[in-house]
Structure 1
């Protein structure tokens, strides 16, 4: 019926979720007229003249999982399902962290139009067993959180800052008491522009992305003091140094399971005042080799450019697969070839995948439209640290 799709592998028959397996060979030479912007998914376009292709794209827009490579079936497996467990405002939700100790998901509502002129002194906690959602406020309040990781039973959170009162910060939060401690708020007296995300290596050292996103959305009013920068922070001494600078925008950040490769997506395609996005801007995922000290990045290469939209939150699974929030869904990328193996979709329309957090055989996706829970994943996703 759908000439551009491969049949599903036999072991995938009878799945609860709706799958499709795209035939790249069949799509290689299309008949008639066709067009789409790089900022929308292939199945979101209606600008095709071939009725069979149009019918296939319409079907793809109804699916939960789209595979481009047979390895995607082995990673996700036939038992996986995706549920839209929280339907929230169509604005950005960010900084998801799965807290194993409490079986809760921490995440935030980020930027305008929510909060008070886009400023948020509170965060969300989702009980993943009951899907009960509540707002929390740390002590003292954490303003404008943007990224989060869990390490050694604590939450480490980065912020955009708060107006002219505080610059971007790295804070530590106790998930039980909600006590918050500021760990870092300057680079040798230079304020940060506003953090976007962070990663932590197996030794507990940090990589922080300092971006212009908070300034661009009016969350902080002072002009960024530098171009967007990735900082390395030594956990024991808090020595800090820039390790990568871009004239685009530093966004997510993730590290390989062995701690030897760093992945950084550039979202320089976004411009500000007004907020617009251009397919001509930077939107590639770069990979860097990490020195034994962790303090020098080398051998920068473009690993992947998204099929559509841009990569936002990035996480690397236990087996090294790269999961990226990419608009219509979460793309799963091969760390060697950079090919997109498949997409976990969040339903199309106004829904938009921004970032994600791993459990053992599950993950949560947050973005515009709320929270999605992907259960029953075949491979174990969470890492050792």
Structure 2
């Protein structure tokens, strides 16, 4: 085992783990010697330093699968967990992962330019998780530019950017057996959407959708966004809709706590468009809200945290209430009360970027630039009850 002033010794019960771990000493990192520097877009182990001892520790961390900042992370992941890069795809963004427990398949997409037909994608990837075979499928009718997806009561629900000046963003229901697709919602009383990024379904089956400027920014949608990025609530029964939140940054992921009484929203105004740019002074924050008695009103807004590095894209909450968020180098696991990052599940560094994830019971799939990663045998249950 690698030993360093900057790393805590792993507990004995982790000595035979099949994965490679680092447990960062927050005390040692509180005061660093010599020169050091990194940007907000780089992970801590990419820190530039002139201290050889620190440099060796950072280089070691960059070879690991799991990085802990808090002892609780050790117990969430456990001693049997592994991370495997099961599909090595190009460095195009991959998005909208949906695990289908009934068929043991993972749906996900290649998103945005330069892929597809000038950035237009009318097909999706389907991964058979038992043998990691991959194929392309097309729904009937085709769903174009799927950007976010959730599984709920045997169906898939997805949101799209729309494309060109032909189709605006919409919410669709997809049958994962017949692959029939049905449009449920495509306008706000005649107003087109800018282009949906992600969605969440609450325990009653109502929809919470993030309408963003990402599709417009990547040239998938031609028309200028009609308003600032927003979150729409749609009642499943009546299809009555309303805006519940707006930002001048960008609406990206969205996730609900396991009780259905809290919701988490990353604002990613750090991404600027036309021209495309990452502005380190842009918004890269996670907001937390409460939901009173399940009503579509966000109350008790609080600034939960800002990522240690990069910005949060896809975000999901586990059955035990921990927040998982795609954060460039890997997936951060966050305490929903304090906002502290407890640890990170790494996707290998380099050009690989973790974008979003889908949960099984004690496993998860991460999709992003570079393909698909399978995290299995976690100690904590990840899948929620609905």
Residue 269 of structure 2 corresponds to residue 263 of structure 1: no
Q: Which residue of 1 aligns with 2:318?
A: 317
Q: Which residue of 1 aligns with 2:101?
A: 100
1:135 alignment partner, SS class: strand
Q: Equivalents in 2 of 1:274, 1:16: separation in Å?
A: 44
Q: Equivalents in 2 of 1:336, 1:103: separation in Å?
A: 33
Residue 45 of structure 2 corresponds to residue 43 of structure 1: yes
Cα deviation, 1:162-212, whole Å, max 9, x if unaligned, reads 211111000000000000000000001000000000000001011000000
Residue pairs, 1:55-204, within 5 angstroms: 55-204=56-205
Cα deviation, 1:5-57, whole Å, max 9, x if unaligned, reads 00001111111100000000000010101000011101123x21111011110
TM-score calculated relative to the size of structure 1: 0.99
Residue 299 of structure 2 corresponds to residue 298 of structure 1: yes
Q: Which residue of 2 aligns with 1:225?
A: 226
Check the 8 A contact 2:260/2:294 in 1, yes or no.
Answer: no
Residue pairs, 1:236-251, within 5 angstroms: 236-251=237-252
Aligned residues: 384
1:6 alignment partner, SS class: coil
Q: Equivalents in 1 of 2:381, 2:52: separation in Å?
A: 40
2:215 alignment partner, SS class: helix
1:78 alignment partner, SS class: coil
Residue pairs, 1:235-384, within 5 angstroms: 235-384=236-385
Q: Which residue of 1 aligns with 2:11?
A: 9
Cα deviation, 1:129-179, whole Å, max 9, x if unaligned, reads 010000000000000000000011000000000211111000000000000
Cα deviation, 1:313-337, whole Å, max 9, x if unaligned, reads 0000000000000000000000010
Q: Equivalents in 1 of 2:35, 2:279: separation in Å?
A: 23
Cα deviation, 1:280-331, whole Å, max 9, x if unaligned, reads 1001011011122431001111111000000000000000000000000000
Mind listing any 5+ residue stretches in structure 2 that lack a counterpart?
none
Aligned-residue Cα RMSD (Å) equals 0.6
2:162 alignment partner, SS class: coil
| Structure 1 stretches of at least 4 aligned residues deviating more than 2 Å after TM superposition | none
Cα deviation, 1:201-243, whole Å, max 9, x if unaligned, reads 0010110000000000000010000000001111100000000
Check the 8 A contact 2:192/2:226 in 1, yes or no.
Answer: yes
1:124 alignment partner, SS class: strand
TM-score calculated relative to the size of structure 2: 0.99
Q: Equivalents in 2 of 1:158, 1:211: separation in Å?
A: 11
Q: Equivalents in 1 of 2:294, 2:39: separation in Å?
A: 42
2:116 alignment partner, SS class: coil
Q: Equivalents in 2 of 1:337, 1:9: separation in Å?
A: 24
